[in-house]
Amino acid sequence: MPTWHPGHTRDVELPQRLTKFVARGRVFLETASNFAMVGVRVSGANGSQRHIRVVLAQPRGFCAGVVRAIDIVEHALKKYGKPIYVRHEIVHNRHVVETLKSKGARFVEELSEVPAGAVTVFSAHGVAQTVVKEAERRGLPVLDATCPLVSKVHKQGKRYVAQGRNLVLIGHAGHPEVEGTMGQVGAPVHLVSSEEDVDALDLLDDAPVAYVTQITLSTDDTRNIIGALKRRFSDIVGPETTDICYATQNRQSAVRELCKVVDVLLVVGAKNSSNSNRLCEIGLEEGVPSYLIADGAELNSKWLEGREVIGLTAGASAPEELVLHVIDALRQIGEVEVTQMEGISENIEFRLPAELRT
Ligand code: SF4
């Protein structure tokens, strides 16, 4: 993780939407001859003299799996026309869902709600085999938007089961990704979410065991539980640490760095987005008051009282325009100056399903 210092700037492209802010006449760029983005100063809406420093986390917001899932729905709408049926929220963000709805996507919780023959998309979180089989039985044309990293966990779990191992899944009960993985493996799966759960597992200590993790947990989240599993079971295997989701790890690491220099943390994301909630928890762990907000409308000015530097990040399913919406809301409180911390620049892309590539 590169070291970042307050006031540190770097040579990056100005985000497109930020340029629009300039066009709306509210942003003043502090320019310098040798770099494109530095502090962005936004005048206060009410002529307020309060000065608010905002530091953006890098990276933040959309990951490659979310981009692919949204692209699948949009490409499907173009190729097959509306409506396209999507099982479960394509990603956990109401703004994304509403935008796709306005373009002709219909969101359902069960396949029984999908009319015969309608094009159906499975969400980025993945689905259980029973759902795949039901779609086959009904002859529904399916586009699978399951994130390739989640599919990789499904395959890994199946491999371990085929080796005759008892499979332990580290994850949160009720999360769609966990339900999908448990339903993909085709054998009993032992779900654990704490070290206490490991102690309580109804398995012999010398039983052959393998573990996989909810991919949207980071190494920080799983380290202690994996440690407990390895202490308890003598014959245990698990994936390489590189198998965790790069986006989750990068966003969490960036927030830990960010918390070293900010007085309060705002996380843009949905209440049902586990990775957004986790970013907020990390802020609290780092001793920084942290708030999860869907957009600028949920900003509470009381949170900022006595706070000079505000950290701003977004979960993997939150679009950048919502980050800009929060900056716009901050502008109602005072003069805003935005800088972006140095951080990892992600360039991962996942390919669309073959039928949508042309
Ligand atoms: Fe895939 Fe990770 Fe994004 Fe989830 S957070 S969709 S696992 S890249």
List the domain boundaries for the chain: 16-62+246-340, 64-146, 149-243
**Average pLDDT over every residue of 177-197:** 95
Q: Let me know the angle formed at the C-alpha of 150 by 356 and 347, rounded to the nearest 5 degrees.
A: 65
Q: Do domains 16-62+246-340 and 149-243 have the same CATH topology?
A: yes
Is the minimum distance from the CB of 248 to ligand 1 under 6 angstroms?
A: yes
Ligand 1 mean position, distance from CA 232 (Å): 30
Q: Whose CA is nearest to atom 8 of ligand 1?
A: 65
**Average pLDDT over every residue of 250-279:** 96
Place of tokens 């966003």: 251
**Average pLDDT over every residue of 289-314:** 97
Count CB atoms within 10 A of the CB of residue 166: 22
Ligand 1 mean position, distance from CA 117 (Å): 29
Q: Closest ligand 1 atom, CA of 63?
A: 3
Is the model's pLDDT at 218 over the cut of 90? no
The CA distances from residue 24 to 27, 280, 282, in Å, are 8, 31, 35
Is the minimum distance from the CB of 153 to ligand 1 under 6 angstroms?
A: no
- What are 145-167's pLDDT values in tens digits? 999 999 999 999 999 999 999 99
Cα gap 291→330, rounded to integer Å: 14
According to the CATH classification, is domain 149-243 in 3.40.1010.20? Answer: yes
- Which residues carry out catalysis? 177
Ligand 1 mean position, distance from CA 147 (Å): 6
> What band does 242 get if pLDDT is binned at 50, 70 and 90?
low
Is the model's pLDDT at 219 over the cut of 80? yes
Is the model's pLDDT at 340 over the cut of 50? yes
Give pTM, 2 decimals.
0.85
270 — alpha (psi -120 to 50), left (phi > 0) or beta?
A: beta
Ligand 1 mean position, distance from CA 305 (Å): 35
What is 250-289 written as a DSSP string? HHHHHHHHHTTT-SEEEEES-TT-HHHHHHHHHHHHTT--
Give residue 49's pLDDT. 66
- What are 45-83's pLDDT values in tens digits? 555 568 999 999 999 999 999 999 999 999 999 999 999
According to the CATH classification, is domain 64-146 in 3.40.190.10? Answer: no
159: tokens are 């491999």
Give residue 241's pLDDT. 67
CATH of domain 16-62+246-340: 3.40.1010.20
**Ligand 1 binding pocket mutation candidate from 62, 216, 249 (most atoms within 8 A of CB):** 216
The radius of gyration computed from the CA coordinates of the chain, to the nearest angstrom, equals 22
